[in-house]
Amino acid sequence: MNILFLTLLDFDSLDERNIYTDLLRKFYQEGHGVYIVSPVERKNHKQTECLKIDKRLYIIKLKIGNIQKTNMFEKGISTIMLEPAFISAIKKYYSDIKFKLVLYSTPPITLQKAVNYVKRRDHAITYLMLKDIFPQNAVDMGVLSKHGIRGLIYKYFRRKEIKLYRESDYIGCMSEANVRYVRDHNPQIDANRIEICPNCIEPVYKVISEAEKKKIRNRLGIPNERLLLVYGGNLGKPQAIPFLIECLRGIENNQHVYVLIVGNGTEYKQLDSFIKDEKPSNVKLMQTLPKEEYENMILVADVGMIFLDHRFTIPNFPSRILSYMQAGIPVLAVTDKNTDIGQVIENGNFGIWVESKDENQFVKSVENLTITNDLTAMGKSAKEYLEQYYVVQVGYDCIMRHFEE
């Protein structure tokens, strides 16, 4: 069958590795036709084109306004203009293709009309992969409000969110806590249409020697004898950067630990200023690395870290945990109490959870990690849990069972 995937992710090939391309590659390998709309922002100075990879794989590179790393006004206008742009591209390039399945994810929530267009045109099944609960997450972070002028913006996007949920035949959530949240806060949606369809990858396991590990650590300027805690990913408001800084201050005198932070985002400068001003001896900050370099860097780490702001009322489930599990290292999750990522790692015996407003507990947890003999066993459990619950076969089967029914 033919599948249409709508996304904001900019990619030109299914050879790239992330939770979306890995899943689409599985569909392609199973013999389905895969048709994608993958936008490219105006700042990249490229025009819309349709890439024919082969007879079963096409990617529309759709020119859109700037959304990432721009001001809120431009981002808002560009987000609102996504729907007509997507519909126009589908009409122009995919007019003679009949789709049985439309796959799409949040963000954004503003593709409802495009989803509706294909659903009505082709009588397709529509499947939302819910990765982000907006606009409530913006309210949690203080970006939006439910009152005043910002409340009007919230209400607009909340209506779009409800319409998208109604238009979706099925809503795949990342975890059980996500399912409960969506059901509890959207009683107008049939609860049977809301299910778990977790973040999934096609794992690629690498093994490097102790000599190679030392070589990489030396190149990064990281002492070989220290417990290496790594954080990789976005460095924005959701990641509770002020609290992360307090945690780094709390372990500054711990000579058994080293922290490596790799990423980018709106709060990168805040972290950078802290390191330049206070010069902690056991912290290193680096810009985002290419995928392969990043995964090699994780292989020399002892523990992977997740940070989420304690104010979140929505249950986030960051996909970066999968890179840590793939590398076979334990996870230290420092998050709000509404996400169930902490329950997952503790029930799976591959990590520790700390609430992201308890600096003392973070310090104690790090101290415990420096003296435990269980890191290798926890890393092995992480890989086993990944193989059982977070490989692409799981996501593929979850979606395809609706066609078997």
Residue 182's CATH number? 3.40.50.2000
- Residue 305 pLDDT class (50, 70, 90 cuts): very high
Q: Are 182 and 272 in a shared domain?
A: no
Residue 77's pLDDT band, with cuts at 50, 70 and 90, is confident
For 55-59, 72-76, 383-387, which range has the lowest pLDDT when averaged over its residues? Answer: 72-76
* 335 within a domain of the structure (yes/no): yes
Residue 67 has pLDDT above 90, yes or no: no
Percent of the chain with pLDDT over 70: 99
Q: What are the residues facing 5 on neighbouring strands?
A: 36, 103
The reply to whether 196 and 130 lie within a common domain is yes
Helix axes 72-80, 82-93, angle to 10 degrees: 40
Evaluate if residue 350 carries a pLDDT over 80.
Answer: yes
Which DSSP helix (H) or strand (E) runs through 120? Answer: helix 112-122
Tokens read off for 327: 């590398």
Is the domain of 182 the same as that of 287? Answer: no
Same domain, 49 and 150: yes
Q: What is the mean pLDDT of the chain?
A: 93
**What tokens does 347 get?**
């029930």
46 close to 25: Cβ distance less than 8 angstroms? no
Do 380 and 397 fall into the same domain? Answer: no
Same domain, 377 and 397: no
Query: Over 90: is that where the pLDDT of 168 sits?
Result: yes
Residue span of the structural domain in which 130 resides: 2-200+390-404
Q: Would you say residue 269 has pLDDT above 90?
A: yes
DSSP-derived 3-state class of residue 186: coil
Residue 139 contacts by C-beta under 8 Å, 6 or more apart in sequence? 145, 146, 154
The pair of structure tokens assigned to 84 is 């007509």
Q: Which of 242, 281, 246, 283 is nearest to 262 (CA)?
A: 283
Residue 18 has a pLDDT of 94
Q: Are residues 228 and 191 in the same domain?
A: no
Residue 207 has pLDDT above 90, yes or no: no
Specify the amino acid at residue 246. E
Residue 131 inside a domain? The answer is: yes
Residue 205 resides in a domain: no
Q: How many helices (H) and strands (E) does the chain have?
A: 16, 14
What phi-psi label fits residue 358: left (phi over 0), alpha (psi between -120 and 50 degrees) or beta?
beta
Residues 235, 182: one domain?
no
Residues 226 and 357 in one domain: yes
Alpha-carbon distances, residue 20 vs 101, 127, 199, 292 (angstroms): 15, 13, 9, 17
Which pLDDT value is given to residue 69? 67
Q: Which is nearest to 314 in space by CA: 150, 193, 144, 80?
A: 144
Check pLDDT > 80 for residue 232. Answer: yes
Q: For residues 38 and 104, is the Cβ–Cβ distance under 8 A?
A: no
Q: Which two tokens stand for residue 227?
A: 């417990």
Q: What tens digit of pLDDT does each residue of 175-199 get?
A: 999 999 999 999 999 999 999 999 9
* Mean predicted confidence (pLDDT) in 379-404: 96
pLDDT band at residue 405 using 50, 70 and 90 as cut-offs: low
Work out how many domains the chain is built from and give that number: 2
Give the separation between CA 295 and CA 311, rounded to whole angstroms: 30
Which tokens is 322 given?
Answer: 């999968």
100 found inside a domain:
yes
Lowest mean pLDDT among 40-44, 163-167, 229-233, 320-324: 40-44
Same domain, 58 and 165: yes
Residue 351 shares a structural domain with residue 365? yes
Do both 24 and 89 map to the same domain?
yes
pLDDT class for 266, splitting at 50, 70, 90? confident
Average pLDDT (77-90) is 87
- The pLDDT of residue 74: 75
- Would you say the C-alpha torsion 89, 92, 93, 94 has a positive or negative sign? positive
